[in-house]
Chain A
């Protein structure tokens, strides 16, 4: 979307990176399983790698239970990793507790889903923001400097005049205003990375876009790297530059948002897109052939919504985790975990369908697939 970040070398823009990150939560053993056997664990996140670049929004899309919030919490260093590493500016970051954690927080801040729960009901907006400023040594040396910092923060999230909001309690604000206060609090640290975990899903429909537009505006003005976690793939298309799709703890597809939503490669992404509410699906049938441009890659055609549910993460299926629901599952999907296969335009999919160029399924005839790791450019 934005031109400026492609102009510079891509790697300079990477602030936060996850490499092969996994997180397993141990499960308490019942009386029966106490006798032998390995200790069971929920495989919440397995082998996830992603990069967050400055001035760019990365969306992480998935159903509940797919591990997308766990990824955000791992990036915020709220949980210890099971394996893999997190790099801040290319340096491995291991924030423990106390001072090291605070130093990490200065760069990476998080905005939570529920603004009704993330603000303390017995404190005013002034208290919340002052505390954040003080912790990160940005409160200034005098009362006046603090006041200026507070006004500036609220101005950034478009809560003006600041005087009207500073001394109000969370219950006096609407949901959208509360979420703006939560964003202001995250900005108090002057971070470079903002991890937004479903920042609008608890808000009223008519004000969601206002908050998303605010985040986009902040991204541009403050050159922030934003991770936008959502289950709504349409909003990812609207708001994010890059979209990553997660299923059952693994990344299955990634690439430019427009490409992922218009030409989904992984069968799961197609299922997700076919299930998303889309009024055009009904009215197009009635209106006949208007708006027919670029509809050759209709995502709904071949993706007959599959039945079934996401698998248990305590004993995830071997091979590709989507294979029990996949309409195109092959023999090796059941045994081997697919690696990432690069497609055109920076899009990739972890699906065996893209292993050989000849196996390009119908519906993606315009796209090309190339063999993994060879780097040979297939002509399109």
Chain B
């Protein structure tokens, strides 16, 4: 196979130190009586150099999680509890939620950058690519001279595979895929430790999507940053990420290595999600998707949020919320399902 870059580098990533630790993070939209809880006790660890995939349907809270971690959540979103710790390279961990606006300003883009959903349209149409790329450097690296900034901008463009002479182009002169790459270049401008990508390629075609993701994986290996990759397309994640966390109704329901999730999903929702994508090869099977529709945050079902759609729901599911717990002795896998509670090593 001619795709060596898709081989997960599990050996060194699995033991790598954490770079971002999220513990029991809760986010509400609104306050008081009308508040809607969008994230429930989310625990997630991002290790240095890994690509962590975050999968879920719309309304599952995956984008909210990205915004909460970067403190970009705009009202009525409120972080109501939990902890986000960032571990700088060779330094003491920092509490992201306690940062002052000045600290945040230095922290964002320098340590964590984010490529937004529909990033193709986040470029300013009346400025050239050069102005927008050097603007980042101007704000964060006041010591740099004008020529150094332009030099760095040229370097960044060639890093993402765009010819540096496109620096003076306006966004409308670039194709969608190129605009997306400019956004990625901008996110890498200050060499951050963590890049969060919120549905970075949803608006692109499959051919372009693959080109960009390959480039990203290559850059990750060259520059050593970690990636949180948010998407609803789990088949894409299985190819491109090391670990996958699956969200449903504001909680993480399963977390495991990409190949493990694909081979042996433990949560019925992960299983359903994997069976919602028709295969390109092999026998043509009748697929059903998942019956019902995703839950409404305003009227969450009691107990496990998935139980009304779950084919395996049984006694405790509609009353008690399952906690995210490790599967067997494997500390790297966890699942929030009552099925896993007692007979974890039982029948599959």
Contacts and interface: CB of A to CB of B under 8 A. Distances in A.
B2 A304 contact: yes
Given A231-B206, A281-B3, A262 B281 contact: yes
Central interface residue in B2, B57, B281, by most chain A CB within 10 Å: B281
Contact of B280 (A210, A237, A271, A301): A237
A309 interface: yes
Interface string A233-272: 1110111000000000000000000100110000000011
Given A279-B262, A300-B1, A206 B287 contact: no
Given A205-B57, A282-B259, A277 B276 contact: no
A238 B284 contact: yes
Interface in B1-20: 1-3, 6-8
A276 interface: yes
A204 interface: yes
Given A206-B57, A208-B276, A231-B205, A280 B282 contact: yes
A204 B280 contact: no
A239 B277 CA distance: 12
A281 B6 contact: yes
B288 A209 contact: yes
B177 A309 contact: yes
B272 interface: yes
B293 A176 contact: yes
A281 B294 contact: no
A201 to B, nearest CB: 10
Interface string B197-221: 0000000011111110000000000
B280 A273 contact: yes
Contacts of A176: 293
B233 A207 contact: no
Given A206-B272, A278-B235, A177 B57 contact: no
Contacts of B2: 300-301, 304
B279 A280 contact: yes
A281 B6 CA distance: 9
B interface: dominant SS: loop
Contacts of A283: 238, 259, 262-263
Interface in B278-308: 278-282, 284, 287-291, 293-294
Contacts of A301: 2
Contacts of A273: 280
Nearest to B275: A209
B293 A204 contact: yes
Nearest to A309: B175
A234 B279 CA distance: 6
Contact of A204 (B58, B206, B210, B234): B58
A291 B259 contact: no
B258 interface: yes
A232 B280 CA distance: 10
B62 interface: no
A63 interface: yes
Nearest to A235: B278
B114 interface: no
B239 interface: yes
A285 B289 CA distance: 27
Interface of A: 63-64, 174-177, 204-210, 213, 231-235, 237-239, 258, 261-262, 271-283, 285-287, 291, 295, 300-301, 304-305, 307, 309
